[in-house]
Amino acid sequence: MEKCVGGNFSKTKMIELLLTYKYWIIIPLSVIEGPIVTVVAGFLATLGVFNPFVVYLVMITGDVVGDGIAYSFGYFGKRFLRYFKITDEKLEKAKIYFQENHKKAILASKVVYGLGTTGLITAGVLRVPYKRFFKTCILISAVQSLVLLAIGILFGNAYVVIGKYLDYYAAGGSVIALTVLLFVFIRKYKIAKKISS
């Protein structure tokens, strides 16, 4: 039996769990390892282990449950943020972004590797209206789960390679997001410097 490496389930262990517990294990796994679980479950659907429509609905549910947990932590756990060096000043800046672009902020939180849970927690801290947060998360989860399930159904036998490329995609998305943020920051800094001169 393979061990969890770095807190992540090995792909073999994940398949063992899915084959043994079927639908009962998909929701907890979708909260922990959503994208690759969706791909693997899509592949197993082609083998007749799962119904792809049920998997799709369960994956959306699991994803939204995970988003709700992160949101709730931010909503009710604000007093713990000081341990993560999140100041009121930083929250105020994030609040402006969430108010102006809540859909983009939540989308980035769900698809950019490394930003995920932090962005969803921030939405809770900033008291983004839950109904608006929930609707946005469902929409994003529905599209994301559909794409990943289709990948699993069409190319699922290559799940190990897909898992590796999902990691590359996530890392690449993070690098692009950080580059854009750095560019915007430098540009605003230069403009502010010109104005003050």
Q: Residues 125, 78: contact at Cβ < 8 Å?
A: yes
What pLDDT is recorded for position 94?
72
Residue type, 76: F
Take residue 17 and report the two structure tokens written for it: 């769990």
Domain ranges of the chain: 11-196
Q: What is the pLDDT of residue 110?
A: 74
**Average pLDDT, whole number, for the chain?**
78
Q: Which of 23-27, 38-42, 148-152, 189-193 has the lowest mean pLDDT?
A: 189-193
List phi, psi (to 5°) of 5.
Answer: -110, 125
With 0.85 as the threshold, say if the pTM is over it. Answer: no
Predicted confidence band of residue 86 (pLDDT cuts 50, 70, 90): low
- Tell me the mean pLDDT in the region 42-46: 88
Give residue for tokens 């102006």: 100
User: Residue 8 in 3-state DSSP?
Assistant: strand
Q: Mind listing the pLDDT tens digit for each residue in 96-146? A: 777 778 777 787 777 765 566 777 888 888 888 889 889 989 999 999 999
- Residue 1's pLDDT is 31
